[in-house]
Amino acid sequence: IEKVLDARPGYRSIAVAKEASIVWTKMVDDDPVLRLALGRGSLSYSEVQPWQRINHVRNKQSLNDKDMFLARIHEYANRNLQSSGDRIREAWFLPESYRLHVKAEKEAFLHRVDYENGINEAWVCKDPTVDRGEGVAMLGPGSDRLKELRMKLTDEFLPVSALSWYNRTADPSAEVSDASSKQFDKRLRNRLIVQKYIPTLQWQGHKFDLRVYWLVASVSPLLVYYHDGIARVSLTSYNPTDFADERIKSHLTNVAQSLSGGNETDRLLNLATRSFDDLDLILRKFVASDTKRSSHFESHIKDDPLGY
């Protein structure tokens, strides 16, 4: 971004964010604890002037954190969609999900496990505040991990540390040190979500998913641009019934996880990130059509999020 703007007449980089017309920095929602945790590199929304353009949408944390994103979907569904009994119709792109720090959802998950055969199904437990494939634990059908989670959820409050198998991050260097960051980190550590594990289509024996790109140019009026992205392919052969720790990468398509601990980064990156044209070649084996095979799900991706 900086190189592009520097190449334009009349633009130059400056050190003081408050004086810049275009600001690319960390933004916070006037949260003093978060502000301290992020340090001087952040900028509060209350400091942004009408003539400034920033690189974030306000309240973006409601979309970034998995549990808060789920809460926004619930709120939207309650306002705009028909409910079926006590179970709200979710967006097509969301698996069955429960926020374990929300009492009603925790009790719903316990009921699902105890009375709707949930104990014999596969689940994924996630720390909603981290990314890059970190903070993910697989809970196989009838596994000791799933049973331990079931037992400890009967507590009124479940700290992450109560789970013997849960490790928020595999990177010790990611641990925070200063007092303000520890306070912020402690507040986040007690949030977990559990989602139904969905066996997926395979890319020549490897799990894959799609990452596409949206540019929100305006929220009022709403103006969104779509761009094809990539197919993210796990580099570990896929077995939908093997949930051992050493096989977790077979269930994760995150590029950071695929590249971690490996050499030949460029070659691995090419294998882990494939184009939609590559995907179309794979689909030719299953779909007979004169048109681009991937156009079917591209139309769903473009239409559904805006029409939901």
Query: CA 210 to CA 125: how far, in whole Å?
Result: 21
- Spatial neighbors of 216 by CB under 8 A, at least 6 apart, are 57, 223, 224
Query: CA 29 to CA 39: how far, in whole Å?
Result: 14
Q: Are β-strands 26-28 and 42-44 bridged in parallel, bridged antiparallel, or unpaired?
A: parallel
- Residue ranges of the alpha helices (H) in 122-200? 144-152, 179-189
Q: Which pLDDT value is given to residue 172?
A: 36
The string of pLDDT tens digits covering residues 222-271 is 888 888 889 999 888 998 888 888 888 888 888 777 777 666 677 778 88
Cα angle value 69/72/73 (rounded, 5°): 90
Top pLDDT among 178 and 82 is at 82
Length of the chain: 308
**From residue 192, how far is each of 10, 71, 130, 131, 175 by CA, in Å?**
47, 13, 11, 13, 18
Top pLDDT among 120 and 94 is at 120
Could you tell me the pTM of the whole model? 0.74
Segment among 81-95, 111-125, 143-157, 278-292 with least mean pLDDT: 81-95
- Spatial neighbors of 86 by CB under 8 A, at least 6 apart, are 108
Query: CA 64 to CA 132: how far, in whole Å?
Result: 12
Q: Which pLDDT value is given to residue 159?
A: 64
DSSP assignments along 232-293, one per residue: EE-SS---TT---GGGGGGT---HHHHHTT-S-HHHHHHHHEE-HHHHHHHHTTT---SS-T
Q: Which residues pair with 274 in a beta bridge?
A: 231
Q: Which pLDDT value is given to residue 27?
A: 64
Are 99 and 193 spatial neighbours (Cβ–Cβ below 8 Å)? yes
Are 6 and 12 spatial neighbours (Cβ–Cβ below 8 Å)? yes
The string of pLDDT tens digits covering residues 103-145 is 888 999 999 999 999 999 999 999 888 888 888 889 999 999 9
Q: What is the DSSP letter of 266?
A: H
Query: CA 21 to CA 225: how far, in whole Å?
Result: 23
